[in-house]
Amino acid sequence: MTTSRIETALAGADQTKAVVLGVGALDLTGAAFRDQLPGKRAVIIADENTWAAAGPGAEESLRAAGVDLDEPVIFPGRPVLFADDAMVERVRDILAGTDAAAVSVGSGSVNDVVKNASDLLGRPYLSVCTAASVDGYTAEGAAITVKGVKSTVPCRAPVAVVVPVDVMAAAPSRLTATGLGDLIEKVPAGADWMVADALGVEPVDWDVWDLVQGPLQDAIADPDGLRRGDTEAVAALSEGLQMSGLAIQVHGTSRPASGAGHYFSHQWEMEGYGRDWAIPLSHGFKVGLGTLAMCALYEIVLGLDLSALDIEGRLQDWPTPEEDRARVEALQPVPVIRESAVRESAGKYLTAEAARKRLETLRRVWPELRFRLGQQLMPASEVEDILRRVGAIHHPSQIGLSLEQLRITYLRAQTIRTRYTVLDTLQEAGLLTSVVDRLFAPGGYWYGRSPEPRWTDES
Q: Which residues contact Zn ion by CB under 5 A?
A: 182
Pair 128, 54: CB distance under 8 Å: yes
Q: At closest approach, how far in Å is the CB of 136 from Zn ion? A: 7
Q: At closest approach, how far in Å is the CB of 212 from Zn ion? A: 12
Q: Quick one: 292 or 432, whose CB is closer to Zn ion?
A: 292
Q: Quick one: 180 or 196, whose CB is closer to Zn ion?
A: 180
Q: At closest approach, how far in Å is the CB of 304 from Zn ion? A: 28
Q: Quick one: 47 or 269, whose CB is closer to Zn ion?
A: 269
Give the whole-angstrom CA distance, residue 77 versus residue 174: 16
Q: Which residue is nearest to Zn ion (CB)?
A: 182
Q: Quick one: 283 or 438, whose CB is closer to Zn ion?
A: 283
Q: At closest approach, how far in Å is the CB of 288 from Zn ion? A: 10
Q: Quick one: 58 or 131, whose CB is closer to Zn ion?
A: 131
Q: Quick one: 182 or 192, whose CB is closer to Zn ion?
A: 182
Q: At closest approach, how far in Å is the CB of 272 from Zn ion? A: 18
Q: Quick one: 182 or 424, whose CB is closer to Zn ion?
A: 182
Provide the b/e sequence for 413-431 (b: ≥16 CB within 10 Å): bbbbbebbbbbbbbbbbbb
Give the whole-angstrom CA distance, residue 307 versus residue 316: 19
Q: Which of 261, 238, 129, 264 is nearest to 190 (CA)?
A: 261
Give the whole-angstrom CA distance, residue 284 versus residue 131: 12
Q: At closest approach, how far in Å is the CB of 10 from Zn ion? A: 21
Q: At closest approach, how far in Å is the CB of 441 from Zn ion? A: 30
Q: At closest approach, how far in Å is the CB of 18 from Zn ion? A: 23
Q: Quick one: 43 or 175, whose CB is closer to Zn ion?
A: 175
